Structure 1
Amino acid sequence: MAVLSTLVTSLPSLSNIVLYAFLSLVVYIVFDIVNQLFGPKDAKQPPVVFSWIPFMGNAVEFGINPIQFLQNCQKKYGDVFTFRMVGKKVTVLLGADGNQFVFNSKQNLSSAAEAYNDMTKYVFGREVVYDAPHSVFLEQKRFIKAGLNTECFRQHVPMIVDEVTDFFKDFKKPTGTFDAYHTFGSLIICTASRCLMGKEIRAGLDGNVAQLYYDLDQGFQPINFIFSNLPLPSYRRRDEACKKMAELYSSIIQRRKAENDNTNADLLQALMESTYKDGTPVPDKHIAGMMIAVLFGGQHTSATTTAWTLLELAARPDLIRALREEQIEKLGSLKTDLTFENLKELTLLENCVRETLRLHPPIFQMMRKVIAEKVTFEKTGHEIPKGNFLCAVPGVTQVDETYFKDPLKYNPMRWIDLDDPVHTMEAGDDADVDYGFGAVGISSKNPFLPFGAGRHRCIGETFGYLQIKTIIATMIRMFDIELEGKAVPKPDYTSMVVVPEKPANIKYTWRE
């Protein structure tokens, strides 16, 4: 007992432990600050943004308003700089040249898969998208793009019109308000499911499918990018939902095959009929993963773009009138059926969507992780070491007055008048490069890249425009709209896509 008593009394008190821990933390912070200010620096590497807190770095400033943070850094450091965020080093490359460098970086130098797969593989499933070898991933993109073809688009337009009409039947009052992002999030789940996911998924949205999607969505948040797998309920529900979605798609595929149900104009059918280059049919689990990836790649981005477009239009009654006049002039009347062909004639409508994507890109940054010992940005000579994340930021470049006049003004006419500096720039020669899923279609040196560029450019752009234009063209026939508040809401950067801050309400009045 005497020995035990001696051991106990010799142990430091709890208060001393806390004090030692606190002092150690203070010393660590001071050492980090001194090292940043006076430590050795590699002149070949980009300047590093100062931060007060080790490990966290600039995460708080970036998280509150990343665009403002990056613009402030640009003024101080130029177009190329590195900041620290939760143990990661992110090298930002702004401007048209920065876009080109990041988006056209070779596969043996930097990798999108290394940047994102730790998060996406738990939501999409294994062996698809970034969890597949790069050559297989490009084949999978080819399958998806083949399923997004003109003949399918022709069938999609009346489907979307039907979904919009049915959705707003629940708006019984002659006038009222709705939350823009929440409303279009719900609507676009319906339109995307009807057009792409298959009639079976659309029919299940009122039941378990919606819950599975919600559970997956909760596993696709900013925290999942930082911590990909934690022992938390939301992570467990994410994993279970991924498994159940794969089982659901497998059962749908087997039923379609058994019943010879092969006339469906949806992406699911296109994937079922696809084969890899070696002749192997696409496995059910790959189809399920690709379908989940397509839904996640398009639903949030289309919902937020539609919401922002309607909010901007609600603040501009002159544009609403002009859009109706355009339909009357180009289509003959506001009662003419919308089609894939006549939607192309609505150029003002397209430019309204394009201007929304410029001012409110749903994905404001794209990343790659350096896997070579270093990569060199030739324009400045900066060397970026292995392990750093390369970051292109269309959300900053697209509101840079170097490329756009009055960049913070919502002005769809800029895409018609062509007075902005961006229209006189010399673009790169990489727009016609084919990585295996068709020509990219736009140079990576373009300052306007809401869908990215290069080998990882989004292949859903045409469907995205088609879906949003059809929704808006239908809605302005049905409603008069105006903002409930005094101004278009500010952006909320706390989710994976940039949504409007609440309240983001639109006042509607049914038209005669």
Structure 2
Amino acid sequence: MLTASRCLLGKELRESVPGKLCELFGELDNGLHLISGLLPYLPIPAHRHRDRARQRLGEIITEVIRLRRNSSRGAAGTDENNDDMLQCLINSRYKDGCAMTDAEIAGLVVALMFAGKHTSSGVSIWTGVHLLSNPNHLAAVVAEQDRLMASCPGRTDDYHRLDYDTVQEMRSLHCCVKEALRLHSPVAAVRQAYKHFTVQTKEGKAYTIPGGHMVVSTILVNHYLPHIYKDPHVFDPQRFAPGREEDKVAGRFSFLSFSAGRHACAGESFSYTQIKVLWSYLLSNFEIKMVSPFPETEWSTVIPEPKGKVMVSYRRPLLLTTVVIWTALQKRKRGEACPAAVAPPPIVQGTALVRLLRAMARDGPLEVIREQLAKLGSVFMASAPLGLFKWTGNKHGSCNK
């Protein structure tokens, strides 16, 4: 949610009591059940908390809108935030020239932030669950990360900066995210029929939908149809690879996680990018294993989520070179200029480890240590599963819904 609020809606909402925002959106989330689609105003505690949270969110967002409208920064072209979605909504006009009201903008902002938090967090967890449960697919994604990071434009020997173009090249990771979406899509999409129309099934049976009626489309069922997806219950990211492309077998409505047609989700690209950046960072910096059983699905929510907690173990390998520390301390005793012996060390990415080992073989370990000392300071680190390296522990963490 914080990512969506900062990227789409500017720094004010990101910095406006972030803990309170998370709490309010949590109450909003807890008030969204399947029964809510049929009886949205059913007087139950979850709905009462939901309504109070929505009112408070509206007040917070309206205050930010008011400040932008009233400040000189709110004028188009003068605000450092005028390229975010909030400013676009403030500057937008209807065909008749009228501006949107604060209430209309606040409603759209809540929808954007809710979508950015609710769907992306759930899909991120499901992506990790399936990757950590399928070593072959995980190995393919990690290999892709190593290859792309090695050629990343912003990369140096000990640092890389992930850019947008590199994220778009992560095809293996993209297919894994898309497959997680297929297996754990929103339960249903609801639309209103504005005119009579007829739907014909694969078996040839016709159904007439009267105009004005609400239509509920079961997206999840659509994604498990065996005549579209081979072995639909199996996690198989390669079904989206060139040559198979099962998501196009039955036309543009074969894959509906982001809807399709005129009302397709405008945030599809942002969602994929957000999730891929998250898992790119995790897989590039940690070794992660799932230690809890494969989670069951919580079907009471509109978007199926893992039931309970997903427990993982993770470790981040560090190379602590005692010779370097000892040399730095000796230099300090002699009064020579030297970085602080216990300063926070930078991290040498795993993709740079090959160069480090080659240099050791070519020039000898002592020469490489001297070079790293001069370059990085008193302590340097690298990712490597070798006995001479010390790990920073083997901790357990959990991913909540």
Residue 233 of structure 1 deviates from its aligned partner by 4.5
Asked if 1:491 corresponds to 2:297, the answer is yes
Check whether the contact 1:477–1:511 (CA below 8 A) recurs between aligned residues.
no
Deviation at 1:393, TM superposition (A): 2.2
Moved more, 255-264 or 283-292: 255-264
Change (3 A) 1:402 1:205: farther
1:289 corresponds to which letter in structure 2? G
Distance in 2 (CA, whole Å) between partners of 1:351 and 1:370 is: 33
* CA distance in 2 between partners of 1:255 and 1:366 (Å): 36
Is it true that 1:249 corresponds to 2:74 in the alignment?
Answer: no
The SS at the match of 1:368 is strand
For residues 99-153 of structure 1, the C-alpha deviation after alignment (integer angstroms, 9 at most, x for no partner) is xxxxxxxxxxxxxxxxxxxxxxxxxxxxxxxxxxxxxxxxxxxxxxxxxxxxxxx
Task: Give the AA of the match of 2:174.
Answer: E
Equivalences for 1:148-163 in 2 at 5 Å?
none
Q: Which residue matches 1:218?
A: 30
Change (3 A) 1:384 1:466: same
| CA–CA separation in structure 2 for the residues paired with 1:284 and 1:386 | 32
Shift of 1:370: 4.8
Asked if the contact 2:32–2:301 (Cα under 8 Å) also holds between the matched residues in 1, the reply is: no
Q: Which has the higher contact order (CA 8 A, sep 6+)?
A: 1
Q: Could you tell me how far apart the structure 1 residues matched to 2:309 and 2:23 are?
A: 25
Question: Does 1:419 find its partner at 2:254?
Answer: no
Instruction: State the 1:235 CA deviation.
Output: 3.4
Question: What's 2:224 paired with?
Answer: 399
1:366 is aligned to 2:189:
yes
Q: CA deviation at 1:471?
A: 0.6
Deviation at 1:489, TM superposition (A): 2.1
Quote the residue 1:61 is aligned against: none
The Cα offsets for residues 157-177 of structure 1, whole Å up to 9 and x where unpaired, read as xxxxxxxxxxxxxxxxxxxxx
Q: Distance in 1 between matches of 2:236 and 2:49?
A: 43
> Any stretches of 5+ residues in structure 1 without a counterpart?
1-188, 428-442
Distance 1:215 1:492, change over 3 A: closer
Q: CA separation in 2, counterparts of 1:405 and 1:448?
A: 14
C-alpha contact 1:489 1:500 (8 A) present in aligned 2: yes
1:200 maps to what in 2? 12
TM superposition shift of 1:305: 0.6
- Residues 404 and 420 of structure 1 are in contact (CA less than 8 Å); yes or no, is this contact kept in structure 2? no
* Residue 376 (structure 1) aligns with: 198
Does the C-alpha gap of structure 1 residues 235 and 409 become closer, same or farther in structure 2, counting only changes over 3 Å? closer
Distance in 2 between the 1:382 and 1:236 partners? 38
Matched, 1:308 2:126: yes
Q: Is the 8 A contact 1:394 1:447 kept in 2?
A: no
Determine the structure 1 residue equivalent to 2:162.
Answer: 338
Structure 1 residues 311 and 204 mapped into 2: Cα distance closer, same or farther (>3 Å)? same
Matches within 5 A, 1:93-492: 189-261=1-73, 262-264=79-81, 265-332=83-150, 335-361=159-185, 363-370=186-193, 375-378=197-200, 379-384=204-209, 389-419=214-244, 423=248, 425=249, 427=251, 443=252, 446-486=253-293, 488-492=294-298
Deviation at 1:470, TM superposition (A): 0.7
Would the alpha carbon gap of residues 354 and 247 (structure 1) be closer, same or farther in structure 2, given more than 3 Å must change?
Answer: same
Task: For residue 481 of structure 1, give the secondary structure of its aligned residue in structure 2.
Answer: strand
Number of equivalences:
303
Amino acid in the other structure paired with 1:338? L
Displacement, 1:382? Answer: 2.9
CA change 1:210–1:418 in 2 (3 A) is same
CA RMSD of aligned residues (A): 2.5
Partner of 2:334: none
Query: Alpha-carbon deviation of 1:388?
Result: 5.7
Deviations 1:461-504 (A, max 9, x none): 01100110111111111211112134x32322111210112342
State percent identity of aligned pairs: 31
Asked if structure 2 preserves the Cα contact closer than 8 Å seen for 1:422 and 1:447, the reply is yes
Unaligned runs of 5+ in 2: 74-78, 319-401
Q: Shift of the alpha carbon at 1:337?
A: 1.0
